[in-house]
Amino acid sequence: MEQSWRWFGPDDPITLPQIRQAGATGIVTALHHIPYGVVWSVEEIEKRKALIAADPSLGLRWNVVESLPLHEDIKLGQGPLDQHFDAYRQSMRNLAACGIRTICYNFMPILDWTRTDLAYPIAGGGRALRFDAVKFCAFDCFMLQRPNAEADHAPELIAQARTWHDAASESEKSALLVNINAGLPGAYERYDIPGFRQILDRYKGVGQEELRAHFARFLREIIPLAEELGMRFAVHPDDPPRSLFGLPRIVSNGEDLAFITGAVPSQANGVTFCSGSLGAGPMNDVPALARRFAPLIHFAHLRNVAKDADGSFMEAEHLGGDTNMVALMQALLAEQHRRKNEGREDWRIPFRPDHGHELLEDVGRKTHPGYPLIGRLRGLAELRGVMQAVSQLEHRPLH
């Protein structure tokens, strides 16, 4: 397994030497300054690559793109689609020309990962990300006032949400809006309430069937070229894996992954196995999903969540929470073993500690929500321990 780390580029307050000290050698990054839909030029890609490799003593390399984002039109199935697909394919050619071949992307409509709290206090003074079903319901029903929103939430939740909303100050409400928007790195698109209503309006008529059809079209447009270029595409699951704002979500469970990987069957059409996103769904047995889709796992995000009965969840310690991380690691190392025995050169699965609690000096530092230094360093260290133990006990190759 290739120990990797998400780096947001030169503006990230976490430096490359710090990442090396955390023990990672793979750098997962993206050209966040380029707006969605615009081609990534060879020059821009080379610039980022050179930055990562500038100090050879660090031994870092750009191993995964996260993400090569899709223009919203592609998800909506509207607008100048041919132009968008051409631009996307050109970025793919340019990345392959620079030797970067593993690409993470998602197919979540409008919002990427969604939380209601970005700094929820944990014991001892640290902070964590949290999704609170009551606050989310309050936002949907009483702040956004989405028509028929009540139909999508349990009556007990709506009652609690009303109480929260009636008691909340203006600043608590605006913080909630900011938090719900926070999962959009990169193009930094942010919506206010009218903006939200407008973009939701554009999705009228796009249900699960339509969104799946748009996804299948995207795959037909890009997977043949990915095969030609020797690239591995890896879709990131929905986070959380449930419908939000009445929008369909189609990368949430085993059935969804089977549809996607079956739509254009190919080694190039694979999965980013995000244990935290999948783990937030009560229907998902995370290690079983890893075993089921193992040959198509091109990249792994490892983290854990602790779920509540009402649909809320907390981001837990990497080895805490509801997912058995040892069983998951066993599945990933077994898959690596299989790849190595096949004689594949690319047998190592890149993974990164996903998210992390803000711990110690992390608190108050302006890092991206979920991406502090010490919390992730701790997560990676714990995962490395599990990896070592499983590989020794089961005689699996490590790296």
Cis peptide leading into 240, omega within 30 of 0? yes
- 236 flagged as catalytic: yes
Torsion angle defined by CA atoms of residues 233, 239, 245 and 247, in that order, rounded to the nearest 10 degrees: 30
Residue 356, phi then psi, degrees to nearest 5: 175, 155
Set 84, 274, 298, 357: catalytic member? 274
Closest approach of ligand DNO to the CB of residue 395, in Å:
32
Closer to ligand DNO by Cβ: residue 153 or 352: 352
- 301 flagged as catalytic: yes
| Token pair belonging to 58 | 């660090």
When binding is defined by CB under 6 A, the residue of 135, 232, 301, 378 that contacts ligand DNO is 301
Closest CA relative to residue 342, chosen from 294, 390, 301: 294
Stretch that binds ligand DNO, among 33-41, 52-60, 106-114, 204-212 (CB under 6 A): 106-114
Closest approach of ligand DNO to the CB of residue 364, in Å:
20
When binding is defined by CB under 6 A, the residue of 105, 131, 273, 293 that contacts ligand DNO is 105
Distance in angstroms (rounded) separating the CA atoms of residues 137 and 164: 10
Closer to ligand DNO by Cβ: residue 67 or 304: 67
Set 84, 153, 214, 236: catalytic member? 236
Closest approach of ligand DNO to the CB of residue 86, in Å:
21
Closest CA relative to residue 247, chosen from 281, 204, 196: 204
Residues 6+ apart with CB under 8 A from 185: 8, 30, 32, 112, 368
Chain positions 237 to 296 lying near ligand DNO, rule: CB under 6 A, are: none
- 371 flagged as catalytic: yes
Through-space distance between the first and last CA atoms of the chain, rounded to whole angstroms: 6
Closest approach of ligand DNO to the CB of residue 102, in Å:
12
When binding is defined by CB under 6 A, the residue of 370, 372, 375, 379 that contacts ligand DNO is 370
User: Residue 139 corresponds to which amino acid?
Assistant: F
When binding is defined by CB under 6 A, the residue of 232, 236, 242, 298 that contacts ligand DNO is 236
- 32 flagged as catalytic: no
Distance in angstroms (rounded) separating the CA atoms of residues 63 and 103: 9
Closer to ligand DNO by Cβ: residue 103 or 141: 103
Closest approach of ligand DNO to the CB of residue 105, in Å:
5
Q: Which helix (H) or strand (E) holds 3?
A: strand 2-6
Q: How many of the chain's residues bind ligand DNO (CB under 6 A)?
A: 13
Q: How many CA atoms lie within 13 A of 113 on its CB side?
A: 23
When binding is defined by CB under 6 A, the residue of 113, 196, 215, 273 that contacts ligand DNO is 113
Set 12, 239, 354, 362: catalytic member? 354
Q: Are 353 and 318 in contact (CB under 8 A)?
A: yes
Q: Which helix (H) or strand (E) holds 391?
A: helix 373-394
Chain positions 29 to 68 lying near ligand DNO, rule: CB under 6 A, are: 66-67
- 308 flagged as catalytic: no
Task: Report if residue 298 touches ligand DNO, rule: CB under 6 A.
Answer: no
- 298 flagged as catalytic: no
Closest approach of ligand DNO to the CB of residue 385, in Å:
23
Closest CA relative to residue 25, chosen from 49, 62, 60: 60
Q: Report angle CA 154, 166, 163 to the nearest 5 degrees.
A: 35
Interface with ligand DNO by CB under 6 A: which residues?
Answer: 66-67, 104-106, 112-113, 183, 236, 301, 354-355, 370
Active site amino acids: 236, 274, 301, 354-355, 371
